[in-house]
Amino acid sequence: MDPNPDPTLRGRVAVVAGATRGAGRGIAAALGEAGATVYCTGRTSRGGRLTSDYPGRPETIEETAELVTALGGTGVPVAVDHLDRDQVRGLADRVRADHGHLDVLVNDVWGGELLTGDPSGWDAPLWELDLDAGLRLLRLAVDTHLITSHQLLPLLVDRPGGLVVEMTDGTQDYNATRYRISVFYDLAKVAVTRLAFSQGHELAPRGGTAVAVTPGWLRSEMMLEHFAVTEADWRDAPGRTAPAGFAVSESPRYVGRAIAALAADPDRHSWNQRSTSSAELAKYYGVTDVDGSRPDFWAFDRAGGTDPAAYR
């Protein structure tokens, strides 16, 4: 089951920063399902002029843009290193020249997956961590978002109704009582949530909205490879190559559809400065994952990780 949402975002312009793969690709695709024009940015391009922190990965921004178009929107690939303010300024200039305005900005840039290390090394104390790797992780997770918003927000605040989505891992409430992997990772994810709060404070007088959103356990391309499954047979992984909780995982399109519904809501300002999840948004707006289910990994985790079927 893969119902195609109504094209409620026809005529809207979005930038998904970090749209090459994972949640970014899923969000771009879902905005495309809803009819939006989506600028899909990232460093991995068929042109190959930029260097990714994931060398050798096959996904490209062109593939994402083509998916957006195939689903009913208009996908525009733009190769951008979001740590380079001149490149991000160039992206802003292009959106301004093409459309004169931006309706939705999704800050999904990450790139730190390899820097978190193997799970066997998680929870290591700060003084035992690789400092250069940790600082690089913070630059990828936080500086990229700040640079992107700094350059693109002028296009979003020129009229009321703009939406900024800050993608992170874990809600504010969840992370407030749980240590997340390492000092650097923990700080990065909490900082991004606070960045949504701060931007929401600044956007509210201008009629804008900023929200922090986390997916649940995401079946990204890298996650599927890690558990030696595909999107077609991932249900075989729990208990074999993956923990039981993987049964409550979600496709990247799920969080994308939740964000697309939020963007289409004329009352989206009621979410301003909030920290929420794909599952909470999906329940509120009545959207589902591509298989028709509505997984809620965070509720499953809070309940002690039992009975996965009850949380799909």
- Which tokens belong to 136? 């690089």
Q: Is residue 182 part of a domain?
A: yes
Q: Is residue 312 part of a domain?
A: no
pLDDT in tens, 201-253: 999 999 999 999 999 999 999 999 999 999 999 999 988 899 999 999 999 99
Question: CB under 8 Å to 156, separation ≥6 — which residues?
Answer: 101, 102, 103, 105, 162, 163, 164, 203, 208
pLDDT in tens, 120-133: 888 899 999 999 99
Question: How many CA atoms lie within 13 Å of 38's alpha carbon, on the beta-carbon side?
Answer: 40
> By C-alpha distance, which of 182, 111, 153, 166 is closest to 276?
166
User: pLDDT-based confidence at 7, cuts 50/70/90?
Assistant: confident
Q: Is residue 238 part of a domain?
A: no
130-137: average pLDDT: 96
Q: Please, what's the b/e burial string for 10-31 (b: 16 or more CB within 10 A of its CB; e: otherwise)?
A: eebbbbbbbbbbbbbbbbbbbb
Domain count of the chain? Answer: 1
Q: Is residue 42 part of a domain?
A: yes
> By C-alpha distance, which of 54, 45, 191, 187 is closest to 114?
54
Which CATH number does the domain housing residue 49 bear? 3.40.50.720
Say if CB 30 and CB 259 are below 8 A apart: yes
Q: How far apart are CA 166 and CA 61, in angstroms?
A: 20
